[in-house]
């Protein structure tokens, strides 16, 4: 059995479980501000395999499915039968795969700044090229310099501490693990049909300043859901990392889902 990814659990043991899955190439550190506003919930933060304190990856061949199964292994270890799963960006890919593979473990989906389609910002050829470059050089400098893409223009101007935080997280990453995740993302599949088939409630959480995954992606996913329960929240003056830029507003939307 592969070792569990790094994770931590906070909140009351009897509280409603919430699982937080972060973006590439970051770690669950981006949820520190959000977690302060989730009083009463049992919050499980996971560093996705290959990233943060879970690097390097040790769950086999690179795939989003392997990442989803690693999250389920964490739930098993903590005795969590069902949880609301929040996935941001790449974490959204994992959340969707988890719901497709283990629908009985997901009581609700919160999909933040993500997409079901195999398109930008994670174009497969570009992610494979990044993985090859990391294998050859181990140099994370380009990713560190590109960390500003995770923030909206308002956050960059009004919250100057956020960009150095992201840069620090990326710089501390293991290039081997980052390359593994890049290949996993490059090999992901279109999950539009899985989102449409998911029986539980879905919240789509986006920022209106997000240039990586703009709100039109939320509209596409809402349309795919048809008549199934779906709510869309677009936060004003907010970029890609809604949970970091606007933790209070993101928490309120999430807690509304948790009930």
For the chain, residues with pLDDT lower than 70 are 1-2, 55, 57-59
pLDDT at 128: 98
User: In terms of DSSP bridges, do strands 7-10 and 17-21 run parallel, antiparallel, or are they unpaired?
Assistant: unpaired
Residue 82 near residue 108, CB atoms below 8 Å:
no
pLDDT at res. 93: 98
Instruction: Provide the pLDDT for residue 2.
Output: 65
pLDDT for 108 equals 97
- Rounded to 5°, the CA angle 88-239-112 comes to 20
DSSP H or E segment with residue 35: helix 32-35
Report the pLDDT value the prediction gives residue 259, as an integer from 0 to 100: 74
- CA-wise closest residue to 255 among 46, 96, 41, 15: 41
User: Can you say how many angstroms the Cα of residue 225 is from the centroid of all Cα atoms in its chain?
Assistant: 20
In angstroms, the Cα distances linking 232 to 3, 90, 213, 221, 247 are 36, 19, 14, 10, 17
Is residue 2 in a domain? Answer: no
Q: Residue 130: is the preceding peptide bond cis (ω within 30°)? A: no
Judge whether 184 lies within some domain.
yes
The three-state secondary structure class of 10 is: strand
CATH number at residue 43: 3.40.50.1820
For residue 60, the model assigns a pLDDT of: 82
Residue 133 lies in domain: 7-258
1 falls within a domain: no
Counted domains in the chain? 1
């Amino acid at each position: 059995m592969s070792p569990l990814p790094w994770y931590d659990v906070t909140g009351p043991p009897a509280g409603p479980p919430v699982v937080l899955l972060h973006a590439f190439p970051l770690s669950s550190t981006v949820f520190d501000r959000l977690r302060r506003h989730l009083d009463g919930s049992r919050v499980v933060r996971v560093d996705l395999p290959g990233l943060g304190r879970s690097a390097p990856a040790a769950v086999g061949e690179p795939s989003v499915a392997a990442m989803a199964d690693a999250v389920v292994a964490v739930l098993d270890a903590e005795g969590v039968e069902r949880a609301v799963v929040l996935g941001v960006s790449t974490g959204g890919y994992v959340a969707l795969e988890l719901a497709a593979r283990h629908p009985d473990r997901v009581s609700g989906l919160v999909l933040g700044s993500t997409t079901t389609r195999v398109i930008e910002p994670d174009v497969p050829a570009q992610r494979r090229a990044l993985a090859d470059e990391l294998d050859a050089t181990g140099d994370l400098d380009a990713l560190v310099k590109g960390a500003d893409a995770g923030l909206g223009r308002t956050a960059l101007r009004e919250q100057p501490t956020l960009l150095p935080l992201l840069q620090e997280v990326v710089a501390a990453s293991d290039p081997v693990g980052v390359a593994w995740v890049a290949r996993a993302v490059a090999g992901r599949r279109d999950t539009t049909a899985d989102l449409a088939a998911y029986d539980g409630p879905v919240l789509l959480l986006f920022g209106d300043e997000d240039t990586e995954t703009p709100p039109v992606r939320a509209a596409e996913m809402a349309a795919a859901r048809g008549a199934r329960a779906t709510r869309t929240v677009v936060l004003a003056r907010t970029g890609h990392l809604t949970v970091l830029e606007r933790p209070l507003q993101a928490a309120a939307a999430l807690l509304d889902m948790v009930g």
